Each structure stands twice: as C-alpha cells, then as structure tokens.
C-alpha cells in the first residue's frame, strides 16, 4: 500500500468510526442506569474522558477527589470531597456515612501517586464495591529487552511495601506496588497497562512537556525534520479507546491485566496520519538517524516516538486486550483530538519546544535547531 492509498484508508476508517462507538462495543446505555460508578479522580488528565464514557453508557457516576483540579468540570455530578493521601486513612474515614454505606458496582482508579493510597482505599471500602479498575502502565515490566511482551512477563522486583503515603520510589515502582496491593486485596479487578497515553482535552497551559510534539509540528507546516530509521515503529495508548475498553470490561465483567495500546505501527504510517489530519503545506526531510544523533538529536529524549533501545519499547503485545474487546479507533481521530485540545489551550499557537521557559529547558528540540539540522543535511547531500 503506498502513502496515498494509506491516507485514503485511514480517512474512510475515521468516517466509519464516528457512526456509534457504543453500539460497536456492544454497550446498551439502557442496561446500566441503576449501576453506581465511583471514579477516583475524574477531573485531570484521562479522568474526564473516563467519566464521559461511563455517562454515555448510562451509568450513575460519582467522583471522589480533593476538589482542586479543574473544579469547573462535572459540577452536576455528585462529588465526594476526599484527600485519600492523608496518613492513617484519615481522608477516607472522614467520608460522609451515606457514601461509606453505598455499594459501588464499579470503581475506576485513575491516580498514580501512592501505592499506599491504593491499598488504603481497598481496605476501607472492602466489601462495598464490585469491579475495581486500575490504570497502570507497561513500565511495571522488569525488562523490555525483547519484542512483543505479554502480560505474564515478570514485573519489577519490589522493595517492601511502604507503611506511609510514600512518593520517593520512581513511577514504575509505585505502579508495580499498586498492582501488588490490588492482587492481594481483591479478585475482581482489571488492570490496564497503558503505553505513553495521549491526552487531549485537559492540559496544563504553560507546560510544553505535556503537549503532543508531532501533531503540533505538522500543524505548523514548513520544512519538517523526520527520522529515517530502519524498522522504525511507534506505539501509544489512545485515552478514548482505553476509556471505552474500561466501560466494555465493566459490562462484560472482564478481569485480569491487559496491555492497552495501538499495535506497533510503522512510523511512516503515523507520519501519513499526521499529514492527513493537518492538511498543512509542508516539506518532509527524512534524515538518517545516525546523522541526527551526531547533531545532538538523540532518540526519545530529543526526538519523540523514536526509541531503538531497549528492543521492546514500542512492541508490546496487545492481542489479549483486542481479544477481550479493545477497539482502537483510527489514529487520525486521536491526532485530531490532540490538535483540537492544543488549539483550545493555545489559540495563538505559541507553545515552544526545546527552549528555556521559566528557567527550565523544555522537552525535545527547538524550531531553530530543527532548521539548522535540515540545512546541514541538505548541504552534505550535495
């Protein structure tokens, strides 16, 4: 399939996907009106997308959070104001009795900070919830040294479980500890091991590190540097597809751990999707990876979605999730949502990458550096 045919294909698939995603997943909103869902978080990062997915499926949704992040969202929904990161379960134990006595058919935990907070919730609410969902990460796997890692691969070796709301461990260890706490306390759980989640609606203006580099770069057009690397694949998690899968697993009572992401995708296909969505006049300069590294544009840290080592970085096996009902929408839809979110946060299109902002250098590389490298590349090719 050449590039032109690919663009036509993803465009047609995108149009079909908008028909009725709930019906495509076998979800009937009329069957869920009496089921209580408690979302831990719900107003930051992927939380709003999860909340909207459950509301669209007809569930009764209640939020549990501190009420500090994006308080303007979901004002019509019941809110349990609670800081579950207080020591000795003080925040959880202070919850109003009517909520403590409520049976929650479904609990979705979108937080990641403290494994002790995860354990505390499960202990305090023991016997008062049905299906527990936890948003985890592929970082829980000990080694990424081979392609197509499946859910049964060994997880990170762990220190002793913290007795306090501990945040000193690195992200991957905290997530792995949280999974351990879940397995020890309940059998009715589903864990979603995501991979580089791509959010779009809720962002933090002024923080370039949380913005999608490639969609923004293609949206701006002009002369664009693109890495030319043999067998270059990318893999990310689309939050909307993940949220739909959480709802699906709730309805089907699907338990266990799942790698949730797009299948490994050739980078050139991702580039074709970017070009299709942005429709901006542009010239692509496919520059060899070795040349980029010599110019200081190293994989991953400087050039996103390029990570040749370890070998399994963008090759996680997602077949188990697909067999269980994960439907990844066309990538052009994810990119469109990313750009729409960016435009709403930065109507002047003035975010900068790779430059000093508030005394700190932002991620990736600057527009100036990109053009310098392109000029050097074209000069050495003559």
* 173, 131: one domain: yes
**Residue ranges for the chain with pLDDT beneath 50:** 1-19
Please give the pLDDT value at position 92.
95
pLDDT at 4: 46
* Beta bridge partner(s), residue 361: 356
The whole-number pLDDT of residue 294 equals 97
Whole-number pLDDT of residue 356: 84
Q: Domain span at residue 362?
A: 208-234+265-310+330-381
Among the candidates 145, 164, 194, a domain finishes at: 194
What does the pLDDT read at residue 40? 96
Query: Looking at the domain assignment, is residue 246 inside a domain?
Result: no
**Does one domain contain both 155 and 53?**
yes
Helix intervals (H) in 83-196: 90-93, 97-100, 115-124, 171-185
Residues 217 and 159 in one domain: no
Query: What distance lies between CA 349 and its chain's CA centroid?
Result: 23
Which CATH number covers residue 45? Answer: 3.40.50.720
What is the model's pLDDT at position 16? 40
Q: Residue 30 has what pLDDT?
A: 55
Q: Do the domain assignments include residue 247?
A: no
Nearest alpha carbon to residue 321 among 194, 197, 200: 194
CA atoms within 13 Å, Cβ hemisphere of 315: 16
Average confidence score pLDDT of the chain? 90
- Map residue 146 onto helix, strand or coil: coil
Domain membership flag for residue 23: no
Both 99 and 140 in one domain: the answer is yes
Is residue 299 located within the same domain as residue 181? no
Question: How many domains in the chain?
Answer: 2
- Tens-place pLDDT, residues 102-150: 999 999 999 878 999 999 999 999 999 999 999 999 999 999 999 999 9
pTM of this structure: 0.90
Are residues 178 and 69 located together in one domain of the fold? yes
């Amino acid at each position: 399939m050449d590039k032109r045919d690919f663009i036509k294909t993803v465009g047609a698939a995108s149009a079909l996907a908008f028909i009725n995603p709930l019906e495509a997943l076998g979800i009937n909103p009329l069957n869920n009106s009496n089921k209580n869902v408690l979302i831990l978080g719900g107003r930051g990062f992927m939380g709003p997308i999860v909340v909207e997915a459950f509301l669209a499926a007809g569930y009764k949704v209640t939020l549990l959070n501190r009420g500090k992040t994006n308080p303007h969202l979901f004002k019509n929904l019941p809110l349990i104001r609670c800081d579950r990161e207080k020591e000795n379960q003080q925040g959880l134990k202070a919850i109003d009795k009517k909520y403590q006595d409520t049976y929650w058919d479904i609990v979705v935990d979108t937080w990641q900070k403290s494994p002790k907070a995860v354990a505390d919730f499960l202990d305090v609410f023991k016997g008062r919830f049905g299906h527990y969902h936890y948003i985890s990460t592929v970082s829980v796997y000990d080694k990424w040294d081979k392609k197509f890692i499946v859910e049964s691969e060994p997880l990170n070796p762990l220190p002793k479980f913290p007795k306090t709301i501990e945040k000193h461990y690195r992200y991957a260890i905290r997530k792995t500890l949280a999974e351990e706490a879940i397995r020890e306390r309940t059998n009715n759980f589903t864990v979603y091991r995501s991979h580089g989640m791509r959010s779009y609606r809720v962002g933090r203006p002024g923080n370039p590190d949380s913005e999608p580099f490639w969609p923004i770069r293609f949206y701006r057009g002009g002369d664009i540097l693109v890495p030319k690397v043999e067998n270059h694949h990318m893999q990310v998690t689309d939050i909307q597809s993940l949220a739909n899968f959480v709802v699906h697993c709730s309805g089907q009572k699907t338990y266990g751990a799942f790698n949730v992401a797009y299948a490994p995708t050739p980078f050139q296909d991702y580039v074709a999707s970017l070009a299709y969505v942005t429709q901006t006049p542009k010239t692509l300069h496919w520059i060899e990876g070795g040349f980029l590294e010599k110019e200081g544009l190293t994989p991953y840290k400087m050039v996103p979605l390029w990570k040749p080592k370890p070998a399994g970085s963008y090759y996680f096996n997602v077949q188990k999730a697909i067999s269980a009902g994960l439907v990844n929408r066309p990538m052009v839809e994810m990119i469109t949502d990313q750009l729409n979110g960016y435009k709403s946060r930065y109507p002047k299109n003035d975010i900068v990458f790779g430059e000093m902002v508030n005394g700190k250098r932002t991620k990736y590389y600057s527009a100036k550096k990109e053009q310098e490298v392109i000029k050097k590349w074209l000069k050495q090719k003559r």
